[in-house]
Structure 1
Amino acid sequence: SIAVVLLSAIGDAVHGMPVVTSLKRAWPDARITWVIQPVAHALVEPHPDVDEFIVFDRAAGLAGFREFRSTVAGRRFDLVITLQVYLKAGLLTAILDSPRKLGFDRHRARDFNWVFTTERIPRHEPQHVQDQYFEFLRHLDVEPVHEWRFAFSRAEAEARRAFFAEIDRPALAVVVGTTRPGKNWLPERYARVLEVAETDMGLKPIIVGSEHPAEVAAARRIVESTRARPIVALKNDLRSLAWILDGSALMLSPDTGPLHMATALGTPVIGLYGYTDPKRVGPYRGPRDLIIDRYSRPGETVPSAETRSGNMQKIEVDEVLQKIELASGNPASADPT
């Protein structure tokens, strides 16, 4: 039996999907348990390679830890894989009973996370987060399987069909806000991009994301200042967001969870990067020439976890439109990773 501790966020959960698939392919008889938080669980709950989810409610405080301890009491796992480096993941790892608890090397682990593991993957030069997770598989002599299994139900497939039946042109899904202001692009520039995408490029903009107040406010500003008529599909439902992204021709987004969802689904993504490093958290398997990178400085080649404020404003409307034109007009010219 194997327990995978990967709690959040949405992008991390997406990166965890091929990990559990790889483990199940290597050891079909193993029972795989995924320890996860509620929001991320809502996205990956139908995953066919996970036998059990244990949902940890961090918002419950100490009561959440007590409930977790009660849930796993008397159970013993052959292997625990801790894919995150924060204290809460370490504490849950400590509660789990296993002779083998595998985590990050001490150089990369935070919050004394290495104290809670019995075995660590070797130190490695910085790389994309997805490749960091694959390091655990290689340490276990498991070949990574590059499959992201969303497992849409018949009801979801029908909802997707009905939604897009009302749209008479290819859809451009757009994330216009995140909860971290440094990642956000300017609303007035989104407004101009949506106008051109709709009137000149034959695309139908769909504003996607959650109902978080910051995203709702950004969407309102854009709708009020654009001549485009975007569909606003903000909803606290990651599964419906997934099938919208799956049915869209393209996606435009800063670094946020839905960007990684779209990439995993195979939807071409124009990624806007200035606050975070696309070498570390960019679209994992998307075309490199669709990324707008205002984060990296000349000569930088090593991925970095440092955040850099003020760079998103350096992204201009024309260069975003050029990327959309590249992706929609001649996607075969893109340079795949």
Structure 2
Amino acid sequence: MNEDSPHVLIVRLGAIGDGVFASPLIGAVKRTWPDAKVSWLAEPALASMLSVNPDIEEVVVWPRQRWQSLLRSFRLLALFREVLDFRRELKRRRFDQVFDVQGLLKSAILARLTGAPQRTGLDSGEPTGWLMTRVLPKSRNVARIGSEYLGFAEAVGLDVGDFEMQVATRPGDRAQADRERLRGRYAVLCPFTTRPQKHWFVEQWRDVAIGLADRGLRVLLLGGPGDVEMVDAYIEGTAVESRAGLTTLTETSALIERAEILIGVDTGLTHMGIANATPTVALFGSTCPYTDTTRENAVVLYRKLECSPCRRNPTCEGRFDCMREITPAAVLAQVDRLLAP
């Protein structure tokens, strides 16, 4: 291993939000070893965002869906061959260190396939120790955004510096956002997420959209292709303009960067708002929130109940009381505070 210029592979496979949370590791590696090469192993969706980052040498794409398709169709020999080919490609890159910050069995297996002499992972409770050279406990400072990644960086001796999240965009992405801005100042709403208990209620989004319009802001609704079929419910009776499914992830990030304010639930696009230093109001309920956003212009609204956070096991029979208690008036009050001259 070249101690002055190691080739480091970061493993964080999916989940846009966790990719944003883990992004400060890139800068931490480069501050520690200015001549280091940083690569990242990710699934295609996250890879599309990481691939434009100038500090990343290469994004290695893990074809998870392809492998799952082969497994479901019992094409086991073809799957075995593809795994061997993938291992060969990983070993060819001669990584010196692997930082598996996902900490799951699947990510640890991929880390082991690299053949890197040093493989450090996070402890998630899954049996990964036999695949790693070192397993680290997760940070207990859950109040800070991205705390587990900061704790990991400190534990492996990286120069954490300001440890700020980063989302790179292309010049064309920013130009498109600038054209949007020329049409008038705008706010962005990010209501879509993966679990119903993390959602806010449609009628409350409409009330906030109307309130933002009353404050002289255009309102853009952001989301991915899978969210398009739900758009009509959110924009009915409002002047909201949907961009869901119409922009790439990096184009979406540029729109967020140019926005006056972002309002969103616990989803990757909301975390992008904080990464881009856009004034952000984040709405949390079933998930344990980061109350320390590290930015004065980002706030988390969270109503902690006896059952909070329920994570994936809500006990409220679909009422989602923790989210119901966050009112449009409370959200708009934060908007006024963050946008005050």
**Normalized against structure 2, the TM-score is what?**
0.84
The answer on 1:220 being equivalent to 2:232 is yes
Instruction: State the Cα distance separating 1:202 from its structure 2 match.
Output: 1.6
What do the CA deviations read for 1:49-91 (whole angstroms, capped 9, x no partner)?
1111111011112646444213214443221111012221011
Give the direction of change, closer, same or farther, for the CA distance of 1:195–1:68 in structure 2 (3 Å limit). Answer: same
Aligned residue number for residue 194 of structure 2: 179
Give the direction of change, closer, same or farther, for the CA distance of 1:47–1:229 in structure 2 (3 Å limit). Answer: same
What do the CA deviations read for 1:153-187 (whole angstroms, capped 9, x no partner)?
322222122121122xx311001222211111111
What do the CA deviations read for 1:76-129 (whole angstroms, capped 9, x no partner)?
32211110122210110121112211112xxx4233123321112356435246
Instruction: State the Cα distance separating 1:8 from its structure 2 match.
Output: 1.5
Structure 2 residue runs of 5 or longer lacking an equivalent are 1-6, 72-78, 315-319
Aligned residue number for residue 70 of structure 1: 88
**Normalized against structure 1, the TM-score is what?**
0.85
Aligned residue number for residue 160 of structure 1: 177
Aligned residue number for residue 335 of structure 1: none
Structure 1 residue runs of 5 or longer lacking an equivalent are 331-337
The answer on 1:204 being equivalent to 2:218 is yes
Alignment partner of 1:290: what SS?
strand
The answer on 1:232 being equivalent to 2:248 is no
Residue 242 of structure 2 aligns with an amino acid whose one-letter code is: V
1-structure distance, mates of 2:298, 2:182: 31
Alignment partner of 1:291: what SS?
strand
The answer on 1:141 being equivalent to 2:174 is no
Aligned residue number for residue 88 of structure 1: 106
Residue 28 of structure 2 aligns with an amino acid whose one-letter code is: S
The answer on 1:325 being equivalent to 2:336 is yes
1-structure distance, mates of 2:208, 2:223: 18
1:291 to 285, 290, 300: 300
Residue 320 of structure 1 aligns with an amino acid whose one-letter code is: V
Contact 2:141 2:147 in 1 (8 A): no
Counting matched residue pairs gives 314
Give the direction of change, closer, same or farther, for the CA distance of 1:270–1:308 in structure 2 (3 Å limit). Answer: farther
Aligned residue number for residue 316 of structure 1: 327
Aligned residue number for residue 44 of structure 2: 38
Percent of aligned pairs sharing the same letter: 23
2:57 to 40, 47, 51: 51
Contact 1:32 1:50 in 2 (8 A): yes
2-structure distance, mates of 1:137, 1:148: 13
Aligned residue number for residue 101 of structure 1: 119
Residue 243 of structure 2 aligns with an amino acid whose one-letter code is: A
Give the direction of change, closer, same or farther, for the CA distance of 1:122–1:292 in structure 2 (3 Å limit). Answer: closer
Give the direction of change, closer, same or farther, for the CA distance of 1:178–1:211 in structure 2 (3 Å limit). Answer: same
The answer on 1:262 being equivalent to 2:268 is no
Alignment partner of 2:295: what SS?
coil
1-structure distance, mates of 2:300, 2:281: 6
